[in-house]
Structure 1
Amino acid sequence: MKYKVLLIEHDSANLRVLKRVIGKAKLDVVSATTLTQARAIFSSTPPESYLCAVVDYQLPDAKNGQAIDFALDAFVPTIVITNSTEDDVREHILSKAVIDYIPKQNAQIYEYLSRLLTRLQRNKNIGVLVADSSRRSRKNMVDLLKRHNFETHEVAKPELAIDYLHAHPTIKLMIIDAQFGTATAELAGVDVVAETRKAFDKDSLSIIGSSDEHSPTILARFLKCGADDYLKKPYCHEEFFVRVMQNIEYVEQIALIRKTANADYLTGLPNRRHFFSQAKERMQRGLEYKTLALMDLDHFKSINDNYGHDHGDLVLKEFSKLLDKHFGKYCISRFGGEEFCVFMPDLPQHAALVLLDEFREALSLKTIVRKNVSVQCTVSIGVTSKFKRKIESMLVFADENLYLAKEGGRNRVIGDTS
């Protein structure tokens, strides 16, 4: 679903730039220059179709932020932009349930807005766990997190926290109170952090400790036990969001680095190194069946020679998409060049042969078009379930069957029992 953004801005120059910024975030822009126009827009389109509203604090027919109330009353998350940097204006804006406000004098306004819009879309799939014994404290944090579209979770007892994290893998951040689970100053929250770090490392889960205590040792104890950051209560909601964003983005950046390191640059499939890591891990589970298929595109060199490497690259990409569609739940990889591999743990060879032949046929019927040039290609597949303790030994047997498939005329699947 492609979301829309309601942009209410009376300055024509700002309006043009903001439209481009929102468009680059791959969002549709619906613009108005007055509050009256915005009301008319909402009368014909449901507010639910909007990701958010970007609203100027001062409009010709709404001098004191009335457009903010209009957007919030329609249950549309709202970002405020303003020419004024006065404290009373800032306090007036932040007294409302807005996502954030951005001074127009800030040279980074457009970059920050673009980043914020991207985050609002991503946050819909990111969970944040608030671990706090105080119902009021949990509600305050959850209300703020919901403004930014986070998937919110709460626990009120320490013994529930780690099991809850295991049961909800979308959670990427936990905010935990120092006195979580106790009315004393025994820092039970610190103990929970230490236990959590035994199961979840910093690359997969960020932790922010929080407390309304003034002891200088609390921050140090949180960090030494594995927390990534600290938030002192009472907090300004701007600081709250900055700390949340920084910690979420850290986990995302690590995930991106891992994905880049583990993926083939052209096709996006797992690379050879990652394949071996995943396959070996699954082989250690003592599964009854282990089936491996080695694939090689037929006459691929002739595609490069006749149509160029750009066309060859497109064939590899389309082949990879089809492979992922058919075998994405298994261990798949581009081994290099036009060679691919699929490891199907806990699947007997006779069942794997049926799936592989269906894939082979689907590929043979597929037409790949680039610059009005159509190409069809086929694949030869060698399959084995012979196992001598290591995945490398299976590759030797699969390669022997792949050779038989090539020698037998190509575009076929050969297994141990074929």
Structure 2
Amino acid sequence: MDRIPKLLIVDDSDYICTQIEKIFINENIEIKKAHDGKNALIAVEEFAPDLILLDVILPDTEGYELYHKVKAIDRNNALIIFLTSKDQDNDVVKGLSLGACDYIKKPFHNEILKSRILIHLEEKKSKDELKKKNYEMEANMKRLNNYAFKDPLTGLYNRRYVEEQIKERIIYGLEQTVLALCDIDNFKHINDDYSHETGDIVLIGIANIMESVSSKVTAVRWGGEEFLIILFNVNHDEAFHIIERIRNDIFNFPFYSKQERFHCSVSIGLNEYNRSLSFIQNLEQVDEALYAGKRNGKNCTIWYDDMIGKQL
């Protein structure tokens, strides 16, 4: 069902207001009156009109001045028609230059006034419908992007997001960037000993921990039980602190399966992004650090450079 259009008449003359009400008596339009600027502003907030007939001369203000106050509080983007006995061209130009959609001079012909107001109300309806469609389109695009770039289980970003949205920032950006690969230790045993449903709960829980640690974390489900963590604009110590907090928070978080409590650990390899190497080569380095950590007892964080220095 279509929404009933709303018309606000702002004029200090009871006769004019009554005359306009009679013109629209057989139209499906909701009408409200205000006889001064103060009550006009109250009506704009409470009534939310679609169109305002605004007299230029009011007891407490000038219509041109009131126009700006109306626009400052109007949430419905009402169209405004100036209504006045002034007939100088510069008055008309002034009203239209402010942004009014029309300018009607008194005394007016009833049918002409009616026709022009109905045309502008139809214009307002069309604008509102277009705005609604644009909003729905944007919302649908956002949902589609979420489907395209989000992992359906964990809600984290996926590989496609990295490839299409932030890979160029990583490769060509000026920020100091750190990449980390995180792998859940003994994840096969979790699936085998508890269930695949419990394994999914673990993946979701770890994803939530990663995202909650720092606003600088961009966490990506890289595949299976492996996650890529991207940290922009961080130094060496800050990156290590964030990654270590992720590892410790995961280790200390309790999971449950059939009232049995258990804990998980993760191994993490990380390295500052080296822009003299390719993206793939950088990933290979953090992957080497990750598996050095696996060989070194798991549940640890290994810098690639430290791994090379210690020849793990």
Q: State the AA in 2 paired with 1:145.
A: N
Residue 70 (structure 2) aligns with: 139
Q: Is the 8 A contact 2:211 2:218 kept in 1?
A: no
Q: Is the 8 A contact 2:182 2:266 kept in 1?
A: yes
Q: Is the 8 A contact 2:182 2:267 kept in 1?
A: yes
Q: Give the alignment partner of residue 29 of structure 2, picking from 91, 97, 112.
A: 91
Do the aligned partners of residues 239 and 94 (structure 1) sit closer, same or farther apart at CA in structure 2, a change above 3 Å counting?
Answer: farther
* Alignment pair present for 1:298 and 2:169: no
Determine the C-alpha separation between the residues in 1 that align with 2:77 and 2:250: 45
Do the aligned partners of residues 91 and 137 (structure 1) sit closer, same or farther apart at CA in structure 2, a change above 3 Å counting?
Answer: farther
Q: State the AA in 1 paired with 2:136.
A: E
Do the aligned partners of residues 242 and 142 (structure 1) sit closer, same or farther apart at CA in structure 2, a change above 3 Å counting?
Answer: farther
Residue 367 (structure 1) aligns with: 254
* Alignment pair present for 1:408 and 2:284: no
Task: Give the drift of 1:412.
Answer: 0.3
Compare the two structures and name the one with the higher helix fraction.
Answer: 2
Residue 391 (structure 1) aligns with: 279
Do the aligned partners of residues 265 and 286 (structure 1) sit closer, same or farther apart at CA in structure 2, a change above 3 Å counting?
Answer: closer
Higher relative contact order (CA 8 A, sep 6+): 2
Matches within 5 A, 1:14-33: none
* Alignment pair present for 1:339 and 2:247: no
Determine the C-alpha separation between the residues in 2 that align with 1:399 and 1:357: 17
Determine the C-alpha separation between the residues in 2 that align with 1:342 and 1:393: 16
Determine the C-alpha separation between the residues in 1 that align with 2:176 and 2:272: 8
Matches within 5 A, 1:105-254: 136=67, 139=70, 143-145=74-76, 234-236=120-122, 239-254=126-141
Q: State the AA in 2 paired with 1:410.
A: K
Q: Is the 8 A contact 2:194 2:257 kept in 1?
A: no
Q: State the AA in 2 paired with 1:395.
A: L
Task: Give the drift of 1:294.
Answer: 0.4
Determine the C-alpha separation between the residues in 2 that align with 1:346 and 1:283: 11
Determine the C-alpha separation between the residues in 2 that align with 1:400 and 1:417: 11
Gaps of 5+ in 2: 1-24, 34-42, 50-63, 79-92, 104-117, 307-312
Q: State the AA in 1 paired with 2:278.
A: K
- Tell me the percent identity: 28
Q: Is the 8 A contact 2:198 2:257 kept in 1?
A: yes
Determine the C-alpha separation between the residues in 1 that align with 2:126 and 2:277: 54
Determine the C-alpha separation between the residues in 1 that align with 2:164 and 2:218: 10
**Alignment partner of 2:120: what SS?**
coil
Determine the C-alpha separation between the residues in 2 that align with 1:140 and 1:91: 22
Do the aligned partners of residues 341 and 94 (structure 1) sit closer, same or farther apart at CA in structure 2, a change above 3 Å counting?
Answer: farther
Do the aligned partners of residues 240 and 94 (structure 1) sit closer, same or farther apart at CA in structure 2, a change above 3 Å counting?
Answer: farther
Scaled by the length of structure 1, what TM-score is found? 0.47
Deviations 1:269-293 (A, max 9, x none): 1101112334423235542623110
Determine the C-alpha separation between the residues in 2 that align with 1:255 and 1:261: 10
Task: Give the drift of 1:243.
Answer: 3.3
Q: Is the 8 A contact 1:332 1:343 kept in 2?
A: yes
Determine the C-alpha separation between the residues in 1 that align with 2:193 and 2:48: 56
Task: Give the drift of 1:346.
Answer: 2.8
Residue 39 (structure 2) aligns with: none
Matches within 5 A, 1:312-351: 312-351=199-238
Determine the C-alpha separation between the residues in 1 that align with 2:272 and 2:120: 62
* Alignment pair present for 1:282 and 2:169: yes
Do the aligned partners of residues 368 and 90 (structure 1) sit closer, same or farther apart at CA in structure 2, a change above 3 Å counting?
Answer: farther
* Alignment pair present for 1:379 and 2:275: no
Task: Give the drift of 1:299.
Answer: 0.7
Q: State the AA in 1 paired with 2:121.
A: Y
Task: Give the drift of 1:259.
Answer: 1.8
Determine the C-alpha separation between the residues in 2 that align with 1:346 and 1:144: 39
Q: State the AA in 2 paired with 1:319.
A: I
Do the aligned partners of residues 390 and 93 (structure 1) sit closer, same or farther apart at CA in structure 2, a change above 3 Å counting?
Answer: farther
Scaled by the length of structure 2, what TM-score is found? 0.61
Residue 196 (structure 2) aligns with: 309
Q: Is the 8 A contact 2:216 2:232 kept in 1?
A: no
Determine the C-alpha separation between the residues in 2 that align with 1:390 and 1:318: 32
